[in-house]
Structure 1
Amino acid sequence: MSATVQGKCDPKFAKVREEFERNFAARGEVGASVCLSVNGETAVDLWGGMANPETNDPWREETISIVFSCTKAAVATCAHILIDRGELNPAARVSDYWPEFAKAGKEKTTVQMMLNHESALPTLRDPVKPGGFADWDYMAARMADEEAFWEPGTRNGYHMINFGWTVGELVRRVSGKTLGTFFREEVAEKTGAKFWIGLPESEQVHIAPIRPYIPKPDDQPTEFTVALMTDPASIQHKSFMNTGGWDFNDRKGQAAEIGGGGGLSNARGQVAWYTELATNSGRLVSADRLAAMSMVSVATQRDATLLIPTRFASGYMKSMDNRRLGLGPGTSAIIGERAFGHVGAGGSIGFADPDCGLAFSYTMNQMGGGLLLNDRGQSLIDAAYAALGYRTNAPGAWVR
């Protein structure tokens, strides 16, 4: 579809604008935003297309959409702020802060294991009650009561939505504030980021409803998708389907503090707080903590949930290059080697790269296929790194 693209773009990043426009013309984009800053200066801030084609409502400067698992990076940032203050110890047992958690094979689980998706709670076995995702105390109790799916710390498996309640409950217990309140006060208000974990009603008018991805006949299904569709007892099926009827286009779902995938923002909103991490400003965390946040803390050849190789840095995703493994499209997300951030379902992303002072985000309302990025988001990232003088991403991450 053709679309009007608005906003600003430094001529140095003209290729980013070209790829953004190509997304609408050739890659099925409906409505989207892309933003990046370099060394604290915004160089690209573009938006375009339709926020809601059914009502002919255009994507405006203030339009936001659910960014799904990009929210996990916001949750991780809250935890790292507490770690930096000495209030949360990554090596400590979770039970030091959350005594009820120490049962059902989880007694030795550490804070670091939770950040690494190693705490063995990738999903819940029994059904979530209707509306359960909007009931924080209920979900935290379910986390505490659930039996570990494996011995914590012996492997990692992406905690698709549960990450928001495992790590998020630690934030609540230590800070005494709800996750959404802590993020708002300690991150959003300090950086000017329009990013919410629990959307106030006043912002409802700006939402672009999410349009689910409709598989094409020639799509190559991933192993995750096969398990999701064929094995109701699998981690994959339960992670995706056992949601208590969570509707991410419903007001109740958007108002709830769902740290594993319910944040709402746009590209500018994510770049606002990632800029502080990309530039080592010290406004959110110290230089030492920032260095730790960018380091790989766990990697595997077969994630127990996603069933692909994954790499994480204490709650954030690192560059993941699975292009040569024949796992199907959408199983890679290639950024700089020092970069860290998170993708969201359908292909959104936000990240910081301290190596070059880059903060980047892309968000949209038309979901794409795959587990990680599709060609819409990756093309924008590739153009940004090329503009910054990076030579290639052939090694598995962008290098100069």
Structure 2
Amino acid sequence: MAEIQGSYDDLFTAVPGVLAALLNAGDAGGSVAVFVDGEPVVDVWGGCADADRTIPWQRDTITGVWSVTKTMTALCALVLADRGQLDLDAPVARYWPEFATAGKDRVLVRHLLAHTAGLPHWDGPVEELYDWPSATARLAAQAPLWEPGAAAGYHSLTQGYLVGEVVRRITGRSVGEFFADEVAGPLGADFRIGLSAEHDHRVALAVPPPSHDEDYLASAPGATAAPATGTGIRVRDGNSVAWRRAQIPAAGGFGNARSVALVQSVMACGGTVRGVRLLSQAGCDRAWEEQFCGEDRVLGMPMRYGLGYGLFGNTYGWGGWGGSMVMIEPDARMVVAYVTNQMREPGHDNRGLEVVMAAYDGITALRS
């Protein structure tokens, strides 16, 4: 039986049980956190931080969470909107004048957050992702694939640069710097967009599915294969030093379940966590505003998008390639986060859902 480290409330015993079962089933390592009212009722970890199973997963182990990073970038935009510095209904070109080419003068800021801007694919080389001016210049020159706001297609890599450049134009800081200064720093959260060398020793590199190697190509949540268009991202790209050093705000964040749950507790708790106020209640509620409901042109499945988050019934959040996920349940003031370095076979990954269901068992008991 896998050994699980950390602590948890007795009412939430099922949650570490799920993590143990996943490790017993062959996963390398991972961490799970459940926060209620901004405080942990589950904070556990286990397994190994390397594919050879020689390095134990520690309390401060971090790993790439892929598209869970989008929720962190979205939070930065929502903070600016709440402060009155960002108008979500404004054209992107108000803040980024060079963007108003090839029909993009009609792209609004809210379109960027809702995957409806019409710029879903990264068409440049992978190496260009590591150069912010080049990446944003490429996107500024592109024409949208559809009338902005009229359809949705998952912006798996591009969303972070689009939103991040708006943040940079307003604040004069990169999105990674803004997140560190205004979100992670005040909360004391161990999450970073752009990882410096001093943290490399804590990183658990991504482990591809058993039937694949490090050339395994990325696919979006819910998809069974890599997208047919755009540049493919491989596991080896995400495991590279260049990826860690760069700011890739849609897919390049590093953290653990504790830090993900702590940051997103801001959304679950009306904007204030542990005495730190980042948003008003109205600012949090913006994330819930449905921007799109229908077939996603990239994912090929029905989706509901809010502002920077996917909407799922009375919850919202997002998952990342490889299995990591975060779920926010405002009614219960609860956040569930699962972070892992172990990828599963395409189309066969329900781990995040298993963790969430176990957390609901606990919250039901807590309420009774």
TM-score normalized with structure 1 length: 0.84
Residue 281 of structure 1: how far off its partner (Å): 4.1
1:290, 1:199 → 2: CA distance? 27
Taking structure 1 as reference, are residues 305 and 5 closer, same or farther at Cα in structure 2, changes over 3 Å only? Answer: same
> Are 1:157 and 2:153 counterparts?
yes
Residue 130 of structure 1: how far off its partner (Å): 5.4
Name the structure 2 match of 1:267: 257
Name the structure 1 match of 2:127: 131
> Are 1:305 and 2:307 counterparts?
no
Name the structure 2 match of 1:3: 2
Name the structure 1 match of 2:285: 291
Q: 5 Å matches for 1:378-393?
A: 378-389=353-364
Name the structure 1 match of 2:41: 43
Structure 1, residues 5-37: CA drift from partner, whole Å, max 9, x if none? Answer: 1000111001112111111123x3210000011
Name the structure 2 match of 1:204: 200
Residue 225 of structure 1: how far off its partner (Å): 4.1
One-letter identity of the residue aligned with 1:6: Q
Name the structure 2 match of 1:102: 100
Residue 54 of structure 1: how far off its partner (Å): 2.3
1:116, 1:131 → 2: CA distance? 26
Aligned residues: 355
On the 8 A contact 1:133/1:246 being kept in 2, the answer is no
If asked which structure has higher relative contact order (CA below 8 Å, sep 6+), I would say 2
Name the structure 1 match of 2:215: none
1:137, 1:383 → 2: CA distance? 44
1:176, 1:91 → 2: CA distance? 21
Structure 1, residues 42-65: CA drift from partner, whole Å, max 9, x if none? Answer: 110000001014260110100010
Structure 1, residues 155-178: CA drift from partner, whole Å, max 9, x if none? Answer: 000001101111111111111100
Taking structure 1 as reference, are residues 303 and 186 closer, same or farther at Cα in structure 2, changes over 3 Å only? Answer: same
Structure 1 moving runs of 4+ over 6 Å: none
Name the structure 2 match of 1:329: none
Gaps of 5+ in 1: 229-235, 320-336, 391-399
One-letter identity of the residue aligned with 2:281: A
> Are 1:352 and 2:346 counterparts?
no
Name the structure 1 match of 2:19: 20
Residue 182 of structure 1: how far off its partner (Å): 0.3
Identify the match of residue 366 of structure 1 among 333, 342, 347: 342
> Are 1:237 and 2:228 counterparts?
yes
2:231, 2:360 → 1: CA distance? 33
1:18, 1:365 → 2: CA distance? 18
Structure 1, residues 202-241: CA drift from partner, whole Å, max 9, x if none? Answer: 111100010122459xxxx999546x4xxxxxxx223451
TM-score normalized with structure 2 length: 0.91
One-letter identity of the residue aligned with 2:181: E
2:363, 2:53 → 1: CA distance? 39
Name the structure 2 match of 1:325: none
> Are 1:83 and 2:81 counterparts?
yes
> Are 1:247 and 2:221 counterparts?
no
2:289, 2:100 → 1: CA distance? 28
SS in 1 for 2:49: strand
On the 8 A contact 2:268/2:330 being kept in 1, the answer is yes
SS in 1 for 2:208: coil
On the 8 A contact 1:346/1:369 being kept in 2, the answer is no
One-letter identity of the residue aligned with 2:334: L
1:369, 1:148 → 2: CA distance? 32
Taking structure 1 as reference, are residues 19 and 224 closer, same or farther at Cα in structure 2, changes over 3 Å only? Answer: closer
Identity among equivalent positions (%) equals: 34
On the 8 A contact 1:161/1:239 being kept in 2, the answer is no
On the 8 A contact 2:6/2:44 being kept in 1, the answer is yes
SS in 1 for 2:305: strand
1:317, 1:130 → 2: CA distance? 26
1:130, 1:267 → 2: CA distance? 27
